[in-house]
Structure 1
Amino acid sequence: MTDVTIRHNVDRERFEVLADGRVIGKAAYKTHDDGGSPQRIFYHTVINEEYGGQGLAGRLAEVALNETVSEGLRIVPVCPFIKKFLTKHPEYAANTAAPTPAHLEYLKTALVPAARA
């Protein structure tokens, strides 16, 4: 396996998997505060196909969720991968909030390209 690292790219609101300095995967999120409960809504996780089957998505999820918890944010799993990961890792349950219609509406608005707004 090549040299793989995981970093938090705050400016792009995502955690990234890098192989030899090139982004090969990400866990994208939007930060949301519903009035006193800061949350990180994870909406998309992907690893480039040629790097599949190496456990990188799981490593990415673990880093992203651990950092989210350490920052005092609640995890809101909209992304199917993050949802599935959480079912296998109950240690995150106390820091997880179920997605609500308000979360989905926030995402819909937040992800609209600036040109359309």
Structure 2
Amino acid sequence: MTEITIRHNPARERFEVLVAGNPIGKAAYKTYDGGGSPQRIFYHTVINEEYGGQGLAGKLAAVALDDTVEAGLGIVPVCPYIKKFLVKHLEYAGSTVAVTPAHLQFLEDALAARAARA
């Protein structure tokens, strides 16, 4: 079986799933500090289609959320997959922050600024 690795890539604000060193999935976030405590807004999780059905998205989510909690950051679940994952994994409830309009505006502005730079 091919070696699967999950790593944090803070420079790109994402957690990545790698197969044989090649990225095949990610859980992207933006760091937010406007809520009184530092938080990670998770907004997109994806696994390449050919790797679907292997439980990789769940493993990726667990690593990303564990790292977020260990770093003392709140989890802001905008991404539909992360929202669904959190419903089934109540151990993260104490670290989950409800999505607010301020989170969504921050995310929209951050993604628009990134697109403008590209």
TM-score normalised by the chain length of structure 1: 0.96
Stretches of 4+ aligned residues off by more than 4 angstroms: none
SS of residue in 2 equivalent to 1:40: strand
Amino acid at match of 1:94: G
Rounded to whole Å, the distance in 2 between the matches of 1:115 and 1:17 is: 23
SS of residue in 2 equivalent to 1:86: helix
Relative distance call for 1:84 and 1:18 in structure 2 (3 A) is same
Amino acid at match of 1:83: K
Amino acid at match of 2:11: D
Residue 56 (structure 2) pairs with residue 56 (structure 1): yes
Rounded to whole Å, the distance in 2 between the matches of 1:80 and 1:99 is: 12
* Deviation sequence 1:8-63 (CA, Å, 0-9, x none): 00000000000000000000000001253100000000000000000000000000
Aligned to 1:78: 78
Structure 2, gaps ≥5 residues long: none
Structure 1, gaps ≥5 residues long: none
Question: Cα RMSD over matched residues?
Answer: 1.3
Aligned to 2:109: 109
Aligned residues: 117
* Deviation sequence 1:63-91 (CA, Å, 0-9, x none): 00000000000000000000000000001
Rounded to whole Å, the distance in 2 between the matches of 1:26 and 1:35 is: 25
TM-score normalised by the chain length of structure 2: 0.95
Aligned to 2:14: 14
Relative distance call for 1:66 and 1:24 in structure 2 (3 A) is same
SS of residue in 2 equivalent to 1:116: helix
Higher-helix-fraction structure: 2
Which of 58-67 and 1-10 deviates more? 1-10
